[in-house]
Amino acid sequence: MMRTNRKSGSPGELGKLKILLPGIPSRSSRGWFGYCTVILFPLANRWALFDTGHYSDRALLLESLQKRQIDPAEIGAVVLSHLHFDHVLNVSMFKNATLIVSKAELDYAQMVSDGKITDPSIPDFWPVLFEGQDVQAVDDAVELEPGLKLVNLPGHTPGCLAMFCDDGISVAACGDVIKNGWEALTAEAGSPGSTSDNLQENIKFIADRARVIIPGHDRPFILRQNGIEYLTDVTWQVQGNFYPRSRDEILLNLEMKGGYCPKP
């Protein structure tokens, strides 16, 4: 049963879209941390998610759902922005969910599996994640319900989906079509699949249709003429156990306030 007695107006809630896990735009010398934005939203008498994160997110994702009194079995749909590991590895938590993914992304992932192209971020076992699940493959654009639309915006991968929500405020959940504020401001692609040209086209397409942008790996923001306005604060802490240094030593403790940041 879908319950709706949730608090509203808190940071991370943008109309009907509620950010369960904020995206983190960071990497180390070993590669990307891969912490993507995970969004909860209501859909036709059921709860739905936009992306699921990866294994390191699982405990926090469960905790965030429990705080809202939502059991994973109540999630009736999961929109997958694309099939990179950091967005899909928790789909197995949601046994009752219809998985919504673009046909172009399924074709792309199959080409990776067949060895025709290389993308190390597509899990080798991605078809296993779909076993026993209802899968809805969508084409270029589809309306989930009035005011809620998915659009395929190729770039980061050929089948990237963005979700546009008009619920009093126009919001775009971008997945990795726009990963972070740097990409949005500079249109400089940060991944092999993107080019500056298609990123610039996608940024314009999204900015023309949404006031608020929720990127795949950053806080929600509004694009201004000469900068960006972040709508939430961020706290990002990294701990380490590098003997003989202190156990659980805080290596990074980043705190940034929301607000306007001028273009570099």
- Overall average pLDDT of the 114-123 stretch: 96
For residue range 158-183, what is the model confidence (pLDDT) as tens digits? 999 999 999 889 999 999 999 999 99
* Percent above pLDDT 90 for the chain: 87
- Overall average pLDDT of the 242-263 stretch: 96
Architecture of domain 13-226: 4-Layer Sandwich (3.60)
Q: Which residue would you say has higher pLDDT here, 96 or 195?
A: 96
Note the pLDDT of residue 193: 61
Q: Which residue would you say has higher pLDDT here, 8 or 116?
A: 116
- Overall average pLDDT of the 220-230 stretch: 96
Domain parsing of the chain, residue ranges: 13-226
3-state secondary structure string, the chain? CCCCCCCCCCCCEECCEEEEECCCCCEECCEECCCCCEEEEEECCEEEEECCCCHHHHHHHHHHHHHCCCCHHHEEEEECCCCCHHHHCCHHHCCCCEEEEEHHHHHHHHHHHCCCCCCCCCCCCHHHHHCCCEEEEECCEEEEECCEEEEECCCCCCCCEEEEEECCCEEEECHHHCCCHHHHHHCCCCCCCCCHHHHHHHHHHHHCCCCEEECCCCCCEEEECCEEEECCCEEEEEEECCCCCCCCEEEEEEEECCEEEECC
**124 pLDDT higher than 70:** yes
**194 pLDDT higher than 80:** no
Note the pLDDT of residue 192: 59
Note the pLDDT of residue 11: 61
Note the pLDDT of residue 64: 97
**219 pLDDT higher than 90:** yes
Place of tokens 């994702």: 61
Q: Are 162 and 150 in contact (CB under 8 A)?
A: yes
For residue range 43-98, what is the model confidence (pLDDT) as tens digits? 988 999 999 999 999 999 999 999 999 999 999 999 999 999 999 999 999 999 99
Return mean pLDDT, the chain.
Answer: 92
**115 pLDDT higher than 60:** yes
Q: How many Å is the Cα radius of gyration of the chain?
A: 18
Note the pLDDT of residue 7: 34
Q: Is 257 exposed, middle or buried (0-12, 13-18, 19+ CB in 10 A)?
A: exposed
Model confidence pTM above 0.85: yes
- Overall average pLDDT of the 1-6 stretch: 34
For residue range 4-38, what is the model confidence (pLDDT) as tens digits? 333 334 567 899 999 999 999 999 999 989 999 99
**2 pLDDT higher than 50:** no
What's the number of CA atoms in the CB half-sphere (13 Å) around residue 192?
5
Note the pLDDT of residue 44: 86
